[in-house]
């Protein structure tokens, strides 16, 4: 990706890329663990002090703009399974995008979350006066999953450790759930419950972060029309000279071939010792052969 394409993130990376934080996901997981410990030790009272409550922020408790990042997605024992899952997603996204792009995505998600809560508070304040509105970072994690599903739609995960399902179907399910949540909130707002604006704005802002970043990085994640034409011509020539019964590409992890799965992309790994090729589902998640 050259400078001439005018990519904003590319120019920012050239100037500020050295300040990016490697393994940012592990810091996020660490924040969640610290917050979980504080909430458990105080029998839940720490939650009221740490959460993103905008009325308190406007009255001087500005630490909430940062401390809400300590609140874990859940306080049950299953939260550790969730954190392990998102740690894997974050590591894969950082490997696929690079440290700087991943940093921008996470920090822009945090900014959008705060702006969304400010906007929701102003809307409610104008319609019904100051009220208690607690923001959440749940949609920040959701935007991470949507980005992962965009890059690796055909990767399979085990739902409830039993049912294999492609992440793209889980993403579609999330979209359906969010659409239903927005619908319910709009009904509540129509009935006079203006506090429901908080949920609506939070969902919209999380999706806005995802779609804006997707637009800015589409040249990085998607081949151009000329590249697609060259790729098609190459595959056509290879198919003409390839002996019948021998696959062009084969994944070293799952054994998937380009003949059986023409929708998959295959790449050789430069970090593996030898000619090991992987499909797009395992290119960034396999263990390197030394």
Whether 177 and 261 map to the same domain: the answer is: no
Asked if 99 contacts 20 with a C-beta cutoff of 8 angstroms, the reply is yes
Domain-located, residue 201? yes
Domain-located, residue 261? yes
Domain boundary among 193, 221, 249: 221
Whether 134 and 238 map to the same domain: the answer is: no
Whether 131 and 275 map to the same domain: the answer is: no
The pLDDT assigned to 26 comes to 92
Whether 248 and 211 map to the same domain: the answer is: no
- Which residues are registered as beta bridge partners of 52? 135
The pLDDT assigned to 230 comes to 59
CATH of the domain at 210: 1.20.1540
Residue 189 CB partners (closer than 8 Å, separation 6+): 196, 197, 200
Whether 71 and 212 map to the same domain: the answer is: yes
Whether 102 and 26 map to the same domain: the answer is: yes
Tokens found for residue 30: 């660490």
pTM above 0.75, yes or no: no
Q: What is the dihedral of CA 58, 206, 103, 251, to 10 degrees?
A: 160
The pLDDT assigned to 13 comes to 80
Whether 52 and 180 map to the same domain: the answer is: yes
Whether 124 and 144 map to the same domain: the answer is: yes
Tokens found for residue 16: 């500020």
Whether 193 and 56 map to the same domain: the answer is: yes
Whether 149 and 75 map to the same domain: the answer is: yes
Phi, psi of 221 (to 5 degrees): -100, -15
- The residue ranges of DSSP E strands in 125-201, in sequence order, are 134-135, 156-159, 163-166
> What's the domain count of the chain?
2
Query: In a structure prediction context, what are the per-residue pLDDT tens digits for the chain, which is 290 residues long?
Result: 334 434 677 777 888 888 889 999 999 999 999 999 999 899 888 888 888 888 888 888 899 888 888 988 877 777 888 888 888 888 888 888 888 889 989 998 888 888 888 888 887 777 776 666 676 777 788 888 888 888 888 887 777 667 788 888 888 998 898 889 889 988 988 887 777 777 787 778 777 878 877 776 654 544 444 555 655 665 565 555 555 545 578 888 877 887 777 777 788 887 788 788 888 777 777 777 87
Give residue 236's domain range: 231-279
Domain-located, residue 289? no
Tokens found for residue 250: 């084969």
Domain-located, residue 288? no
Asked if 31 contacts 110 with a C-beta cutoff of 8 angstroms, the reply is no
Domain-located, residue 290? no
Domain-located, residue 250? yes
- The residue ranges of DSSP E strands in the chain, in sequence order, are 52-53, 134-135, 156-159, 163-166, 266-268, 277-279
Domain-located, residue 107? yes
Q: Pairing mode, if any, of strands 134-135 and 52-53?
A: antiparallel
Whether 18 and 126 map to the same domain: the answer is: yes
Whether 62 and 120 map to the same domain: the answer is: yes
The pLDDT assigned to 27 comes to 93
Domain-located, residue 100? yes
């Amino acid at each position: 990706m050259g400078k001439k394409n005018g990519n904003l993130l590319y120019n920012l990376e050239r100037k500020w890329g050295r300040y990016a934080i490697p393994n940012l996901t592990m810091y996020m997981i660490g924040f969640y663990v610290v917050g979980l410990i504080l909430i458990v030790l105080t029998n839940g009272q720490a939650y009221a002090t740490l959460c993103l409550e905008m009325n308190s922020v406007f009255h001087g408790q500005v630490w909430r703009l940062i401390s809400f990042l300590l609140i874990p997605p859940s306080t049950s024992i299953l939260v550790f399974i969730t954190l392990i899952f998102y740690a894997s997603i974050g590591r894969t996204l950082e490997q696929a995008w690079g440290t700087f792009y991943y940093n921008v995505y996470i920090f822009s998600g945090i900014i959008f979350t705060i702006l969304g809560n400010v906007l929701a508070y102003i809307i409610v304040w104008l319609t019904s006066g100051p009220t208690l509105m607690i923001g959440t970072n749940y949609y920040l994690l959701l935007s991470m999953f949507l980005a992962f599903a965009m890059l690796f739609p055909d990767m399979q995960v085990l739902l409830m450790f039993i049912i294999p399902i492609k992440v793209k179907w889980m993403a579609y399910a999330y979209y359906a759930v969010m659409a239903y949540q927005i619908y319910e909130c709009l009904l509540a707002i129509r009935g006079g419950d203006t506090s429901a604006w908080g949920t609506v704005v939070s969902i919209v802002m999380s999706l806005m972060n995802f779609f804006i970043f997707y637009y800015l990085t589409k040249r990085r994640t998607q081949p151009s029309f000329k590249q697609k034409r060259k790729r098609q011509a190459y595959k056509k020539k290879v198919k003409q000279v390839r002996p019948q019964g021998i696959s062009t590409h084969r994944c070293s992890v799952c054994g998937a071939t380009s003949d059986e799965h023409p929708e998959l992309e295959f790449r050789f790994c430069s970090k593996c010792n030898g000619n090991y090729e992987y499909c797009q589902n395992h290119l960034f998640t396999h263990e390197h052969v030394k």
